[in-house]
Amino acid sequence: MPELAEVEYFRRRWDVGLGRKVSAVHLNAKARIGRGVAPATLTKALAGAKLVESFAAAKQMAFRFSGGSWLGVHLGMTGRLEAGDADREPTPYDHFKLLMTGGKELVFVDPRQFGRVQFWQGEGVPPWWEKIPPAILSPEFTVGVVEVFLRRRARTAIKPVLLMQERFPGIGNWMADEVLWRAGFHPQAKAGSFGPKSVRKLHATLREVCAEAMDVIGKDWSDPPDTWLFNHRWKDGGRCPRSKKPLVREDVGGRTTCWSPERQVLGAERR
DNA sequence: ATTCTTGTTGCATC
DNA sequence: AGATGCAACAAGAA
């Protein structure tokens, strides 16, 4: 579920822990989400540490604690962050939990366990955090870098290309479909067939969808308006909010993809 | 019962 | 060497 804006939303759910100290750490050692992290190391470093600040970038989060300790969280497909008091009803998938002063609990819930936690202690930001490419909403995300990347992935359909985190950090399945639908490009158009005008259009639409998603979903997970593809994409018999014609759902590059055949025609990207 | 899933990675192949 | 495609991970939901 979690893409760019949902990740930002979940980051804020742990804000209740800011300024509080960790009184206990629970990591389910058998859960896949903790692969590579020793529960004892985590407990030793975090117990008594104060949660100082948090960050979200792409589909990742980082939580900084006093003492130079960093917790990284990736939510995978079904992960979510919750916060509650001591009387919070546990779920069977509370694989990681921080008990905080004041009786607050910060919980990482993930049924499928494609998500993960990471830990790092040292000067500055963790190495894995530094490797996250420039955000789509940052000045470094230029038309030029999009153009170069599309050329490099020339023979791949544009849909799976938009899912590549190395260039489009935070874009997931629904955002990729939303972008292509708004920009009017067929998901199976080859990345290499995009002309200069279309690359500019794609770049601008990526920015637009990211900004609107952060605004609508990132703040309080409001329902997106019906003018987005988002509200129609999973429904059988769903219709395009612009053309009112039936939407199509089909596998593209291994992922279910929804588009409006009326508006997204192969070849339109050549301009 | 069967097929689906809003993500990533590692591996085989081109 | 770099690009491409796909199975695997796990478990609930439809």
Report CA dihedral (A10, A110, A51, A137) to the nearest 10 degrees: -40
Which nucleotide C1' is nearest A58 CA?
A: B7
* Long-range contact set of residues A122-125: C-beta below 8 Å, sequence gap at least 24: A122/A68, A123/A68, A125/A62, A125/A70
DSSP readout, A103-125? Answer: GEEEEEE-SS---EEEEEESSSS
pLDDT higher than threshold 70 for residue A1? no
Q: 3-class SS at A264? A: coil
Q: Which pLDDT does position A164 carry in this prediction?
A: 95
Give, in Å, how far the C1' of C1 lies from the CA of A252.
27
Give me the domains of chain A, ranges plus CATH numbers. 4-130 (3.20.190.10), 143-259 (1.10.8.50)
Residue A31 is given by DSSP the state: S
CA-to-C1' span, A43 to B2 (A): 43
- Least confident window among A38-42, A65-69, A147-151, A180-184: A38-42
Protein CB footprint (7 Å) on chain C nucleotides: 2-7, 9-12
A81-117 residue pLDDT tens: 999 998 999 999 999 999 999 999 999 999 999 999 9
In this structure, are residues A245 and A225 in contact, taking their beta carbons and an 8 Å threshold? no
DSSP A71: E
At residue A234, the pLDDT reads 85
In this predicted structure, what is the pLDDT of residue A49? 98
Q: Is the pTM of this model over 0.75?
A: yes
Structure confidence at residue A196 (pLDDT): 97
Does A75 have pLDDT greater than 90? yes
Q: What is the pLDDT of residues A224-233, one digit of tens each?
A: 999 999 999 8
- Per the listing, tokens 């708004």 go with A182
What average pLDDT does the structure give for chain A?
A: 94
Q: Is residue A264 within 8 Å of A187, Cβ to Cβ?
A: yes
- Considering all nucleic acid strands, name the nucleotide whose C1' atom is nearest to the C-alpha of residue A112: C10
- Pick the closest to residue A168 from A130, A265, A38, A160 (CA basis): A160
Is A219's pLDDT higher than 90?
no
Instruction: Note the pLDDT tens digit of each residue in A15-65.
Output: 999 999 999 999 998 889 998 898 899 999 999 999 999 999 999 999 999
